[in-house]
Homo-oligomer: A and B are copies of this chain.
Amino acid sequence: MTTALAQDIDTGVGLVERRYATWTAPLQLDSGATLAPVTLAYETYGTLNAARDNAILITHALSGDAHAAGQHTLHDRKPGWWDNMIGPEKPFDTNRYFIICSNVIGGCQGSTGPASTHPVTNRPYGARFPVITIADMVRAQTRLLDYLGIQQLYAVAGGSMGGFQALEWATAHPERVRGAIIIASSARSTPQTIAWNSIGRHAIMQDPRWQEGDYYATEPPVDGLAIARMVGHVTYLSEISFEAKFGRDYQWEDSPKYTLKPEFAVESYLEYQGETFNTRFDANSFLYITKAMDYWDLSARYGSLEAAFSGSRASFLLLSFTSDWLYPTSESRLIVDALRHVDRPVQHSDITSHAGHDAFLVDVAPQRPIIRKFLEGIASA
């Protein structure tokens, strides 16, 4: 990371580099399979202190990546996906903390995933990539912490599927986490979430171009992935944000054109989201990551949520959003209730927002002071 340039551009974090760490030792997966080699793409912002106790791991959502803050080049049109939360004087204050963001295994942004080359066949894994879980993703991240020489995280923080990983860290690796920030997330995938994910997978796998996952030398299943993304986008918004963003507006004219083609603004938006997702995401990664999400059920694994949290040593902060119907407040409350039941320190803020699940990324103003204060409190906890 080029800290010298950080002050020169207005993201605060400045220019950053994507880094990679690779391990040849097989990673044991929940399925019984192993994965080797394992590469994680990651980025860091700020400086690890001498005591090596100021590290915060940021875990990303389904379509996220390791690029959480700053810019890769001065010409980037957008900074990292959580740039408004990470940087000097921001809640994840790079003057105080050493921030790490790691791409998940199964992904397509530099970490080992279905598009990676199978070490034996020398061809892309495709659907021969092993099915992974949230626990597997976190298991890979523990290697990254070892590699960076970090025994214990000051905190781990993530929204949506990032929250799954943060919960996994705090429960499966309790000695390595002092604070856990879980935003717009859940201790399980609800049946409705599984339903949405499964429709996306169905759309990809029925696309003739999917070819059982072996499309890396041909045209990828762009139509299937577009549909999966369109479904996702509707679930990320709320009824109110749909009204505010699009209403019943037509995209081009003021009145119906009486055509089967898209003509409402909301249709154009979804088509655009579906198309552009194909430029940055791999359909097979969508299959693997959503499957990992669907398996996610902390309570089933430990017998109960209370049992899951009983060994945890972290302080917890949960943020939920009133209009988020994909990861509703009730899911956060289940976590809060279980933590209180086993006397773990926990704070919960249910933030009033119209932005639906997207609130996690777009309604940052109310989150900032809560996260800042929670992080400060960890030091004295």
Residues of A within 8 A of B (CB): 30-33, 127, 130-131, 133, 188-192, 194-196, 198-199, 201-203, 205-206, 208, 223, 226-227, 230-231, 234, 237, 239, 242-243, 245-248, 256, 258-260, 262, 264, 266-267, 270-271, 274, 287-288, 291, 294-295, 297, 300, 325, 328
Cα-based distance from A221 to B231 in the complex (angstroms): 19
Instruction: Take A208-B208, A264-B294 as given contacts and tell me if A131 and B195 are in contact as well, using a CB distance cutoff of 8 Å.
Output: no
Tell me if B295 and A247 are in contact (CB < 8 A): no
Residues of the B chain whose Cβ atoms lie less than 8 Å from the Cβ of A127: 260
Residues of the B chain whose Cβ atoms lie less than 8 Å from the Cβ of A191: 242-243, 245-248, 264, 266
Residues of the B chain whose Cβ atoms lie less than 8 Å from the Cβ of A199: 227, 230-231, 234, 270
Tell me if B234 and A192 are in contact (CB < 8 A): yes
Chain B nearest CB from A321 CB (Å) reads 16
Prevailing SS type, chain A contact patch: helix
Tell me if A248 and B287 are in contact (CB < 8 A): no
Chain B nearest CB from A283 CB (Å) reads 11
Tell me if B227 and A202 are in contact (CB < 8 A): yes
Q: Which of B188, B259, B295, B300 contacts A131 (CB 8 A)?
A: B259
Residues of the B chain whose Cβ atoms lie less than 8 Å from the Cβ of A133: 256
Looking across the interface, which residue of chain B has its beta carbon closest to that of A237?
Answer: B192
Chain B nearest CB from A150 CB (Å) reads 30
What are 16 residue pairs bridging A and B, where the CB atoms are less than 8 Å apart in the complex?
A: A30-B256, A127-B260, A190-B239, A191-B242, A191-B243, A191-B247, A191-B266, A192-B237, A194-B267, A195-B266, A198-B262, A199-B230, A202-B270, A202-B271, A203-B203, A260-B288
Q: Which of B223, B260, B291 contacts A206 (CB 8 A)?
A: B223
Tell me if B260 and A190 are in contact (CB < 8 A): no
Tell me if A198 and B266 are in contact (CB < 8 A): yes
Tell me if B260 and A194 are in contact (CB < 8 A): no
Residues of the B chain whose Cβ atoms lie less than 8 Å from the Cβ of A33: 258
Cα-based distance from A258 to B190 in the complex (angstroms): 18
Kindly name the residue among A33, A196, A206, A208 whose own CB sees the greatest number of chain B CB atoms within 10 A.
A206
Instruction: Take A195-B234, A199-B234 as given contacts and tell me if A189 and B248 are in contact as well, using a CB distance cutoff of 8 Å.
Output: yes
Residues of the B chain whose Cβ atoms lie less than 8 Å from the Cβ of A205: 260
Tell me if B202 and A242 are in contact (CB < 8 A): no
Cα-based distance from A195 to B248 in the complex (angstroms): 10
Looking across the interface, which residue of chain B has its beta carbon closest to that of A130?
Answer: B258
Residues of the B chain whose Cβ atoms lie less than 8 Å from the Cβ of A190: 239, 242-243, 248
Chain B nearest CB from A209 CB (Å) reads 10
